[in-house]
Structures are given as structure tokens and as C-alpha cells.
Amino acid sequence: MASSSRMALRRLPLSARISSPAVLRTAPLKSVSQASVRSYSRLSQASNSGLLSATSRKPQQFIEIASFYNVQTRSYADKIVKVPQMAESISEGTLKQWTKKVGDFVEQDEEIATIETDKIDVAVNAPEAGTIVELFAQEEDTVVVGQDLLKLELGGAPPENAEKEAPAKEEPKAPADSKQEPGSKAAPPKEEREAPKEEKKAPAPPPSAPKKEEPKPAPPKQQSSNQPFGQREERRVKMNRMRLRIAERLKQSQNTAASLTTFNEVDMSALMDMRKNYKDAVLKKTGVKLGFMSAFTHACTLAMKDVPAVNASIEGPNGGDTIVYRDYVDVSVAVATEKGLVTPVVRNAEGLDFIGIERAIAELGQKARDNKLTIEDMAGGTFTISNGGVFGSLMGTPIINLPQTAVLGLHAIKDRPVAIDGKVEIRPMMYLALTYDHRLLDGREAVTFLVKVKEYIEDPRRMLLA
């Protein structure tokens, strides 16, 4: 009876054998090791696909036990890591870099890959600890949210012990060679004996060699005749997603807004004196470096009280037919990075003092340089300040960051002669440029706003009374 039941069970397919009650009556699972079960998992897959014949399969008892154990464990042994959600407006990106490779062990939340989007770089982290088994995409491939990215075999431990044992195995190789020559206790190898002989022969030929090589200046003449204009090389590099997005938005701004720029100059003497007198005390007390951006940001928020249209925007179809006025000011601060210009946002700048603004700008700037900005850091923004003066710009016309209405451009501080109370004096001067959308702002309002900012900067005490 036992042999007939085994024969009947053997005729059944593998899936039927796994669910058969006879499987549960086989030998205990303790007799099957983890390694044998892993090896069987590959065998069972090949058997199901028809790659193995019935005669080449393992003994029936092993198949039944391993199949049952495999069903219990393999369902959660591997995990497919998918492309994570990035933002509502982002559905795809470019797989820029794999920081791990197949066979590497990763800890939970350890970074595995970086996906570049048109706004930010998204880090893909390991959901659990395990070993990378397979990668489903290559670098520079376009990946979509929810797409399979890699397979992770869960569990295990980092191969630290193997790395430590490797040098220990190599050490006993040295005495093994010495046993072959019992007569010599500490005889050096042949390579070490031959090395000094070569060194003695080496100094003999040098005097004759340079005499033959000196009268051969032919190569420079050939280069000058074949390439009379020097080297003319070209490189073509594919634009990254952020640069493509910047180009698209700037061109859209030029095509949509009726841009116009008005200029003014501001005497920075009073603000520079204030910063010089209090920057050390502020740094010691708060740990924040006092700069000029906080003063200009605060001055702009105060000037917007008199000219609220600067903080407004146009919305609606067909170019817009609705003006949106806001009672809050989210200032976008332009920060230059290696990949392009980004504009993280200082939220509710109208409620922050100098220290609060400087702290917020410093944190956003550091995140931008470390490629750690999130979508929330750059979303929104009602007004932009761009400081090209840090790069030495004397004057320029910034482009509006739609759907905003205006952008203020700051420039380099230069000592110039100016008329002060009928006398010519040398003062540190800066040019200001306000580019605005003429569809919403008239020239009078734009100039009024810029003059207000100028007055606040030239006499910072005015900001305490506004």
C-alpha cells in the first residue's frame, strides 16, 4: 500500500504533490538543511518549466519535504523594490546612479539608487535589510513610478566575517613555501636576489641613451603642420532633466509675460555698517551669519504693503482673466547648483525677522547644494529674489518665475563716486533690477515698489517703523 501510494503521488504534478496530505506524513523538516532547500528551490523551478526530466529529479522524499518547506518560506524571501512616488506632478525620471550592485548587502533605509527628475533628485532606499539579487534597470534609463526596480533577498547579514577571514587564509601561504627548502632557514626568494643585480646593471647604459634621444625633436613640427590652429575638439552631453525643465519654463515665461525691467541704485553704506557692528554678536548668540539677503527680503515684504500687486499673480484660461491677491509672502530664493538654478521657498517671510530669514535661507541653500531639496521646498512662491552679485554681476535683467509677477535682481557692490549733499563722495553702490509683468503691474507701481526697497535699505531704521 505504501509503495502504491508513493507511485500514485509521484505521477502527480509538483503543485499537486505540495498540497497532498501525503507530504505532511513524510520525514520531519529537521532533516532538511537551509542550503539544500535553497538548492532545491532552483531545481523545483526548472522541474515546473520542463527543463528537468522525471529521471533527473531528486528522491521523492526530498522533493516532498523541500517543496513543502519552500512554499512556507519563498513567498516572503524575496522582495521587489519599485520606483517610489515622487510628487503629484512627476510620473517618471532618469535612473542616474546605482549606489549598490548585485550581491551587495544593504541595511534598511540605506540608499540604493538615485532618480533624477526635472525638479529634484529622488533617493531610493532599501525597505528592509537584505542582499540585492537582480537589477531591472540600467543607469540613464527612464523609469516610471511603480515600475519594478530591483529584487531584494531579505534577511542575512553583511559579509564582514568573510572579509576578515580572507587575509587570515592568505597568511599561512608564506611558511608553506619555506617548507619546500628545509636546508635554508631564512633564505630570500629568487626575485629578491635578482632585483639588486638588475639595479647594478641599470646605471651603466644611461650616459649613452640620452645622447641618442636628444637630437629627435620631430613630433612638435608634425603637430604644428597638421594642426595649424591647435586642437579643435567637441563634446556633446545630453541635457539633464532639470536643465531641460529650466529651459522650458524660462522660454514659457518669455512667451507668456509682458516682461519689463526697471532699474535703480542703492547706497549700501548704512546696511554694511549695521552688519559690521552686529554680525559677530548675532553669530555668537544665534549661530546665524548675518547677510544682506535678510534685509532685502524684509524690505520687499514691507514694500508689498504699499504695492500689493507685486505679490499677486494672474490665473485663468487663455492667458488668465483673474488676479489673485495674497496676504502672505512666500519668497523664492534663487540658488545656483551644479545641475542648474533652483528656487527654494522661504514660507511666510512677512512674519520673520532678520535672523529667521537668514536661518531659513541658510538651511535651504545647504539642502540645495547637497541635492536634498524636496518638492515641498520649491513648490509655490509668490516673489523671487535673485542675487547675481555674489558672482560679480554688475547689472542684469532677471526673468520672471511664472506664475509670479515680479523678480528682484541684486548685483555686485562697487565703490563709485556719488553726489551727497552737494559733495562728491565714494560710496558702496549696488544696482537693483525689478523685472515685472506689465499685464498686471504698471510702470508707476513697479517704480514705487523699487524706490520703497531702496529707502528701506539705505536707512534700515525705517523697517522698524513700517
Cite the active site residues: 438, 442
For residue 403, cis peptide bond before it (omega within 30 degrees of 0) = yes
Tell me if 373 sits within 8 A of 120, measured CB to CB: yes
> What are the strands of the beta sheet with 121-125, ordered from one edge?
121-125, 111-116, 92-98, 142-144
- Residue 7's alpha-carbon distances to 1, 3, 17, 142, 455, in angstroms, are 10, 6, 12, 53, 99
Conformational region of residue 380, where left means phi above 0, alpha means psi within -120 to 50, and beta covers everything else: left
DSSP string, 368-412: HHTT---HHHHS--SEEEEEGGGGT-----PPP-TT-SEEEEEEE
> In this structure, what C-alpha cell is assigned to residue 19?
498540497
Distance CA 145, CA 87 (A): 10
Conformational region of residue 289, where left means phi above 0, alpha means psi within -120 to 50, and beta covers everything else: beta
For CA atoms 408, 411, 413, 418, the dihedral sign is negative
Query: What are the φ/ψ torsions at residue 137 (nearest 5 degrees)?
Result: -145, 155
Query: What are the φ/ψ torsions at residue 342 (nearest 5 degrees)?
Result: -120, 155
Extended beta strands in 100-169, E state: 105-106, 111-116, 121-125, 130-135, 142-144, 148-154
Distance CA 117, CA 96 (A): 9
Contacts 24+ apart (CB under 8 A), 48-55: 48/14, 48/15
Distance CA 114, CA 358 (A): 30
Residue located via cell numbers 532618469: 94
Alpha helices in 49-110 (DSSP H): 60-77
Closest among 331, 384, 336, 387 to 356, alpha carbons compared: 331
